[in-house]
Amino acid sequence: MKNIVVFLYLYMCCKNDGGVRGVSDEESLNYLRKYGYLEANSMGETSQISVSTYERSLRDFQRMVGIPVTSILDRNTQHAMKRPRCGVKDKMVSHGGLRRYAVQRSTWSIENLTFKIWRYPTGLTQDSVDKTIQKAFDLWSEYTDLTFKPTPSKANIDIAFLRNDHEDGYPFDGREGQLAHTFLPEYGGAIHFDISEDWTIDSRDGKNLLQVAAHEIGHALGLLHSEKCNSIMTPLYNDNLFDVKLYPDDIQRIQNLYGPKTKRSQPPIFPWFLNLPSENPCISKLHRTHFGFSNEIPAFYFNPCILKDLN
């Protein structure tokens, strides 16, 4: 039979690239199952699989994280599996066994959302965390009509820094593993960060809170992971990303869910007569006064000496 079930150990002895592996056979199986590339049996195990199934799962993972597609557990793949990452699955597996990428549509039905941070990390001030989380939300509101405001009471999106098994079914695994995970809107949109990580702000050390928060907020709004490596929604943490922003793929996908931004805040309107000089206006040159709703509207020029000449 073509799909003869084999032990992964035997398969790897024949198919690896000959290098020293940083990820064991069992670890690679667990990783691929954990993040949606392999289905577990009724006992939650993937101890034996077919060669074709394993190759397919590796190809899917390699495409997702942007490394050469080789169908084997080579050095690049092992390195990618060892990198810190988001705890949300990369692939969703339906009950019928059909696999699909980020096509699930789970959104909020309101535009004005609230959030609450009810447990903070150590090593950072609450004020700095508040500002960073708000900045991460603002990245998404820049391209949609969604708004995000903190609230001391019940919120739409709950945020907390937790450790290990925190009773949501998705325990953290300590430093340099899962950095955070988030529930889609239909499941409440809660965002959990691993408190054991070395969270930092405006620093090249530790784990950049803004980068991870922006990513997790994408999940809280309904986005799954992206195959685009320059997307904020790529599943692996990027140690070299210092200019945290949304990229074209992120903007297109969030606007597919919520539409483009149509509401813009307007600057205050100042009537021209408030700009009149208080002393001897006829001596001064033309006085520039803005009269309109934005800086794009041309300025009007007013010379009060004209009125005197008319008299």
> Residues annotated in the binding site for Ca(2+), as ranges?
173-174, 188, 194, 197
Among residues 44, 129, 100, the alpha carbon closest in space to that of 225 is found at 100
Which two structure tokens, joined as six digits, stand for 307?
């009125």
**Separation between Cα atoms, residue 151 and residue 75, nearest integer Å:** 46
Kindly give, in sequence order, each residue whose CB lies less than 8 Å from that of residue 255, ignoring residues fewer than 6 positions away.
143, 144
216 is annotated as an active-site residue: yes
Longest dimension (CA), the chain: 105
- Do the beta carbons of residue 277 and residue 287 sit within 8 Å? yes
Per-residue b/e over 283-299, b at no fewer than 16 CB within 10 Å?
eeeeeebbeeeeeeeee
Q: Which of 216, 227, 279, 296 is catalytic?
A: 216
Provide the annotated active-site residues: 216
